[in-house]
Amino acid sequence: MNVVMIGAGYVGLVSGACFAEFGANVTCLDVDAEKIEALRGGRIPIYEPGLDDLVHRNAQAGRLCFSTEFADAVGDADLVFIAVGTPTRRGDGHADLKYVYAAATQVAAHLKGYTLIVDKSTVPVGTAREVKRVIREANPQADFDVASNPEFLREGSAINDFMRPDRVVLGVENPRAEALLRELYRPLYRIEAPILVTDLESAELTKYAANAFLATKISFINEVALLCEQVGADVHAVARGMGLDGRIGKKFLHPGPGYGGSCFPKDTLALIRMAHDAGTPLRIVEAVVAVNTSQKERMVEKITEALGGSVKGKKVAVLGLTFKPETDDMRDAPALTILPALLERGAHIRAHDPVGMDEARKELPAAIEYADTIDDAVADADGIVLMTEWNQYRGLDLERLKSLMRGNVFVDLRNVYERPTMQAHGFAYSCVGR
C-alpha cells in the first residue's frame, strides 16, 4: 500500500514510521524544507524514545522516505493522511484549520486514481466534510473519499501507543474506505486491538471528548488536592481510594501544576467553542479549563510562600521544563506560565531539563539561565522547584543537593518525594495536596 503522510511532526512522523513498520510504503511530506532535509540526512527533529531506530530501519528498508514535493507521492498514494497542526486560533479558542485546508488544497491537484484522504489531525466535527468540499472544488474530476482516523498516541510513549493502541477509531462514509483503512491497520488484528468504525462526525468528536475527559480527571484531582491542603487530608490516599474503584480508574488522578502539552489545552478550548457554536455549552469542560488556569497561578503562590512570602532576589533552581517527561515538547507547558510569573516577582531562575532546554530557550524569557547539569542548576540556590518528573529527578542525591544549595526549600510540584524523607535531609518541603 502506498501511504502519504502530510506533516512530519510528532504525529505524522511517528504514524508514518509505524505504518512503514507495518509494511506500507510511506512518504512523509512537509512544507518545512529544513525538517525534511534533516530527516533525509538521518536526523530526527524531535525527541521521542525509539523513533530514531524506527525511522532509520524503515528508511533503510526503502519503505519510508521524506519529501517536500507533493506531485509524485500523492499521485501514487492509496491513502493520504493529513497530520498537520491544528493550534488554537488566535483570539477565539477555535481550532485553526488553515493548515488542514492548505494541505487538502495541495493534495487535490495531484490526485490520480481512487484515493482515500484521511484526517489524522485533531479536528472539529464537520472538518472531514469540509476537506471533501475543498478537494472537490479544487479538482472536480478527482476520485476520492474522506475519512477520519484521530490519533490517540501520547508523546513520550508514542511508538508503543501506536503499535499497541487501546483502540483505533475509523470514521468512514462507505465500505470501500473502511476496507482500505482496515487493510492498513491489519497488523493490529494479531494483538486484537479494538477497531471502532463510525460515521465521520462521531470519530471527530470522540477524540475531543476523550481528551476533555482526561483533562477533567486532572482538574478534578487538582481541585481535590487544594481541598486536601485546607482540611488536612492527603491527596494520595484520596486518589488511591478513588482510583481503586474500577468505575473510576487510577490513571490521571495525579495532582500537579496543571495539564499542558500540545493537545489538552488547545483541544479543551476548541471543544468549548464547538459546543458553544452548536448551542450546547459544555459547562464541565469550561470549568476544567478555568481550574487549570488557576492551578498554574496557585503554583506561583505555593513557590512564593515556600520561599518565605517573596521570591525577590531569591535563586530558584527549576528541574524540568517540558510539559511531561520523555519529550522535548514545550507547547503550553506549565513552566511557560509559572517561570515568567516568578521572574516578574524578582526571582533569579536557573533551569535544567534533560532534553527540553533548546525548545525552552525559544519560548521562555531571556533572563532565565540554563544549567547543563543538575548540580549546576542547584548550586547556591535558595530553593528547588521540581516541575517535571523526569526519571533523573526521581532519585536525586538529596545529601549532595542540600550541600550545594544556600537555602533548603524544595517545592515538589509532582509529588515525587515523601515529606519525612525530605525533612530528614533538612529540606523545607512542600508539594501538592498533602
Ligand X SMILES: NC(=O)c1ccc[n+]([C@@H]2O[C@H](COP(=O)([O-])OP(=O)(O)OC[C@H]3O[C@@H](n4cnc5c(N)ncnc54)[C@H](O)[C@@H]3O)[C@@H](O)[C@H]2O)c1
Question: Where do contacts with ligand X occur on this chain (CB under 6 A)?
Answer: 6-12, 29-32, 35, 83-86, 99, 102-103, 106, 121-122, 151, 153, 155, 262-263
Residue the block writes with cell 532546554 = 357
Q: How far is the CB of 66 from ligand X (least distance, A)?
A: 11
Q: How far is the CB of 220 from ligand X (least distance, A)?
A: 22
When the beta carbons of 99 and 417 are compared against ligand X, the nearer one is 99
Q: Rounded to whole angstroms, how far apart are CA atoms 214 and 242?
A: 15
Please give the radius of gyration of the chain, using alpha carbons only, rounded to the nearest integer. 23
Q: Rounded to whole angstroms, how far apart are CA atoms 72 and 67?
A: 10
Q: Rounded to whole angstroms, how far apart are CA atoms 404 and 429?
A: 17
Taking a C-beta distance cutoff of 8 angstroms, is the pair 263, 204 a contact? no
Q: Rounded to whole angstroms, how far apart are CA atoms 385 and 90?
A: 31
Query: 28, 65, 263, 431: which is the annotated catalytic residue?
Result: 263
When the beta carbons of 263 and 316 are compared against ligand X, the nearer one is 263
When the beta carbons of 7 and 407 are compared against ligand X, the nearer one is 7
Q: How far is the CB of 127 from ligand X (least distance, A)?
A: 10
> Helix crossing, 335-344 with 283-306: angle to 10°?
40
When the beta carbons of 171 and 407 are compared against ligand X, the nearer one is 171
Q: How far is the CB of 381 from ligand X (least distance, A)?
A: 32
When the beta carbons of 151 and 332 are compared against ligand X, the nearer one is 151
Q: How far is the CB of 154 from ligand X (least distance, A)?
A: 6
When the beta carbons of 149 and 430 are compared against ligand X, the nearer one is 149
Q: How far is the CB of 118 from ligand X (least distance, A)?
A: 12
Q: How far is the CB of 153 from ligand X (least distance, A)?
A: 5
When the beta carbons of 194 and 346 are compared against ligand X, the nearer one is 194
Q: Rounded to whole angstroms, how far apart are CA atoms 135 and 257?
A: 43
Q: Which cell numbers hold the place of 340?
A: 515568567
When the beta carbons of 6 and 291 are compared against ligand X, the nearer one is 6
Taking a C-beta distance cutoff of 8 angstroms, is the pair 121, 149 a contact? no
Residue nearest to ligand X (CB): 9
Is residue 263 among the annotated active site residues?
yes
- Please give the positions annotated as active site: 263
